[in-house]
Amino acid sequence: MISSKEILNITEFLKQSGLSYEADLDLKEFSYFRSGGLVKMVIYPRSMDELQRFVKFMHEKQYEFKVIGDTSNLMFLDDVTYGVLLSLKHFSSIQYNEEEGVIVAQAGASLPLLSRQALLWGITGYENFEGIPGTVGGGIFMNAGAYGPEIKDCLIKVYGVRANGEKFELTNDEMNFAYRETLISKHAGEYFITHADFKATKGDTQRIFERMELLHAKRHKYQDFLYPTLGTLFAGTEIYSAIGRDDKKYTLMLRVLERLIFSKKLRRERPMNKRRLNDFVCKYFGWTFDVKPFSDKTMNCITNRGQHTDKILEYIELLKKHLPETARLENEIIYDFRYKD
């Protein structure tokens, strides 16, 4: 929690230091998922020096804050007023050092842009990131990946600032990469990524383009683009079979339905709309919703159709009761970093 008095102290520091910020923003307009109440302050450092000074000040005062990128993996809660967010949107450059064979990308740069820049330079290994709507920093934080490859497969070294304002460097091995997990995610709030070195392996530009085009088309078959969404909800889970894994009747009916509705011969080039399958699951388990909290393309993707976030949280808890313990929530729900008047 952060108080009104502490916000005043931070405001005074920002004005004296010349750091850019915005106050009292509506998170429904600001956030990727279009959810949340207000945030009292969003800070926008433009250099390593500004970032270090701000982080050190907050550390010394023991004020809490959260670093954000595009917020494409974050769900802010409605009717909640948050305190301080630190945006790295000005840390957005991507450069290619051909002599050293390294791409240097800042934390605020988007992963799709990194993928497309790599294509322009004829560099392979980044095709799978074209459809991930996040930033380089967020991707490193959670070891993002799609259709196989992950950030760890192309990363060399990570740079940034620690909570005390001191710089740090971590090699690929030191990051302790795992599935959607890293050393930094395990110690959230202790390390703040500013940029990273990536491998620059030359490839055939036409083949790179064809791979990206294929993955782009596949992603749009499975991802909702009509409503604000946060992508996959539970990682490493085939949601439909996992929900009723111990129910033999359900499993049999699911297999029959999937063969009838989703055979390649019948579907051809039509989008992967799973509305009928979603209706079957809800009817089988007796689930009813005033406003549907999930995508027509998969129940494993929450959508904002104007409902309160409390209803989305209820849906997430409902799924948790039916899924195995190994199913991990991939989206981050922001419960902390609140403001108190």
Provide the percentage of residues in the chain whose pLDDT is more than 70. 96
Count other Cβ atoms within 10 Å, centred on residue 317.
9
Which architecture, in CATH terms, is 2-90? 2-Layer Sandwich (3.30)
Range name among 84-93, 105-114, 213-222, 247-256 with the lowest pLDDT average: 213-222
Relative to beta strand 74-76, strand 332-334 is parallel
Q: 3-class DSSP state for residue 188?
A: strand
CATH hierarchy code of domain 94-212: 3.30.465.10
Count other Cβ atoms within 10 Å, centred on residue 218.
14
Give 305's pLDDT tier (boundaries 50, 70, 90): very high
pLDDT digits (tens, 9 = 90+) for 50-99: 999 999 999 999 999 999 999 999 999 999 999 999 999 999 999 999 99
Domain ranges of the chain: 2-90, 94-212, 224-334
Q: What confidence score (pLDDT) does residue 263 get?
A: 57
Q: How far apart are the first and last CA of the chain?
A: 10
pTM of this structure? 0.91
Strand partners, 38: 26, 81
Q: What angle do CA 156, 101, 116 make, to 5 degrees?
A: 85
